Amino acid sequence: MLTGRWSVAVLISALAIPVPRPAQVLATTMAWTPNGIPASPADGAQIKPRIVPDGSGGAIIAWEDKRVGPYLARAQHLTAEGKTAPGWPADGVALPNRGISQSNLVMVPDGAGGAFVASDDNGYAGVVIVHHLGIDGSPATGWSTSAVTLQAADFGEAGGTQGAFLPALLADDAGGVFVARTYRDRLHQSITLTRLSSSAGFDPAWGSGLFAGAGWDFPSGLCSDGQGGVFVAFQADGIPPRIWTERFDGLGKRVFSGKAVSPAPLDQTALGLVSDGGIGAIVVWEDHRNGAFDQLFAQRILADGSTSPGWPADGLRVCAYPTAPGSPSYFVWPGPLSSVVPDGAGGAFVAWTDYRGGAESDIYAQHILGNATFAPGWPVDGLAVCAAPNTQERPSVASDGAGGVLVAWQDGRSGADEDIYAQHLIGNGAIASGWAANGFPICTAPGDQVTPIVAADASGNAFIAWSDARAGTPNIYATRVGAGQIPPAVEAPAATFARPVIYPNPSFGRGFTTRFTLPSAESATLEVLDITGRRVAQREVGSLGVGSHSVELREAAALPAGVYQVRLAQGGRVGDARAIVMP
């Protein structure tokens, strides 16, 4: 823990570039259309969106915008009808900045139609800038156009580079916001927590900042403790890095000091933290304990920091196969984050990029219950949200408000460029009415669509935003899916012949499943050949028709251990994949 010799000065200052309100608000008649609508037309690059509901059927979007000079934070408010909200300019609102490139945007709704948004200056010597957007795009009551900057001065060790970065936010349900960020001085890097009131003042009980961790810590996540305070989770970057948690009550008193979520050896990264709906929390992370690849684990902690009864002390393994988090390290610097949301009943939904089929990744998800079991209908090691050909990655998740989950991801099934797909699953893992296996196309416009983010409001309306290069330079696009509805119809990419993908591979005496795509309904065969070229299994699959398919080859369970060739043939086209059967 940090001792009494540590102190911090937090500065509230006018930024070098205060943001004036526009003299004229431009009208817009945009409405939700297939393939999405632009949040803010501009010639400069727009990347890394964040989106939150406004509570009235619309949404607020923030992103990094390079229309002039460095990447600077910008925001837009779209109504339930897909129009620019009253008071907001058509090209969005520039958020407070110092004229230095901004990154690591985070945003949470304020419960009154606006949003809290924070960013950093993209470096160790920068500041964290916290702003409160009102419903009309102006600063919320009590907040100035200069926002609040959080930057430590003398902190423990004099000299060297000092700064704040990697913010995390949590609305406090009293009109204010908790802010966590990583603070760095010459020798240390720790998590600092501040509570700002609805009028941008510092909560006196929290002072200028409370500190979690004691070593080299980043990034952090916050969730409610159900009693007016917060849980904070962070990656303690020792050797190996571990995920730790602490808890502070509403008066800024530390309830328990840093505790590791698991004593297991080797790296723990990519944290995700959500409330369990009571007075505890669920933490998920990527775990390298097997020494070969990362696997997804989870832990439930109680108000005193202890492990919830029934949960393994070293964490619950969510998936035994190789996994990667929803937000990879080149999206959220300097470490990845997991995609997890509460289920509203004491558990959580988590989604990940899954490599059980080899290099071509898929999207999987799991519904974890509060008692450390998986919900009925959800298989051990996760449910295949999308097992289409080629690569699917970067899943983002949101609760649908009715016990189910919405998942959006970046999808390369077309083989030409990246598209955005989504899926709606109900609580038992079944696909929601009207939605399709392997997901529904959200945007299949020309060019790459990447880095999707999904959010939903209490009524079940869902919003998806992404960075879209249909015009060459990436811009932010968004769409809305009304509660109980399916997305606006877009043209799905034409199916192309795709070689089979095998999973699990290797297989341990249970057979295996092969995934493939057929461009037509003409005759097609799937066969398994041994190392001598002798056919040991065959299946006619042309009758499955056009599209992506998964076929379970149970007969492979009887095969002796060895290496086999799985061959798909249709109309003169042949695709092979190697399968390994273990004893």
Backbone angles phi, psi at 556, to 5 degrees: -70, -15
- Domains (range + CATH), the chain: 44-157+193-212 (no CATH), 214-387 (no CATH), 388-486 (no CATH), 498-581 (2.60.40.3080)
120 vs 371: CA distance, rounded Å? 38
Residue by residue, what is the 3-state secondary structure of 80-144? CCCCECCCCCCCCEECCECCCCCEEEEEEECCCCCEEEEEECCCCCCCEEEEEECCCCCECCCCC
DSSP-derived secondary structure for 165-199: EEEEEEE-SSS-EEEEEEEE-SS-EEEEEEEE-TT
Whether the ω angle into residue 49 lies within 30 degrees of 0, i.e. cis, is no
Assigned token pair, 251: 């008066």
User: Mind listing the pLDDT tens digit of every residue in the chain (583 residues)?
Assistant: 333 322 333 333 334 334 433 333 333 445 899 999 999 988 899 999 999 999 999 999 999 999 889 999 999 999 999 999 999 999 999 999 999 999 999 999 999 999 999 999 876 678 999 999 999 999 999 999 999 999 764 344 555 567 888 999 999 989 999 999 988 877 778 898 999 999 999 998 887 778 887 667 888 999 999 999 999 999 987 788 899 999 999 999 999 999 999 999 899 999 999 999 999 999 999 999 999 999 999 999 999 999 999 999 999 999 999 999 988 755 455 568 999 999 999 999 999 999 988 888 999 999 999 999 999 999 999 999 999 988 999 999 999 999 999 999 999 998 889 999 999 999 999 999 999 999 999 999 999 999 999 999 999 999 999 999 999 999 999 999 999 898 877 876 666 777 787 877 787 767 788 878 888 889 999 999 999 999 998 899 998 888 778 788 878 778 888 899 999 999 888 988 888 888 7
458 vs 283: CA distance, rounded Å? 23
Assigned token pair, 472: 């060459």
What is the pLDDT of the chain when averaged over all its residues?
88
Question: What's the pTM?
Answer: 0.84
Nearest residue to 257 via CA among 536, 2, 550: 2
What is the tens place of the pLDDT at every residue in 271-318? 999 999 999 999 999 999 999 999 999 999 999 999 999 999 999 999
What is the tens place of the pLDDT at every residue in 22-34? 333 333 445 899 9
Nearest residue to 386 via CA among 404, 405, 367, 410: 410
172 vs 564: CA distance, rounded Å? 57
**Any idea what DSSP says for residue 337?**
B
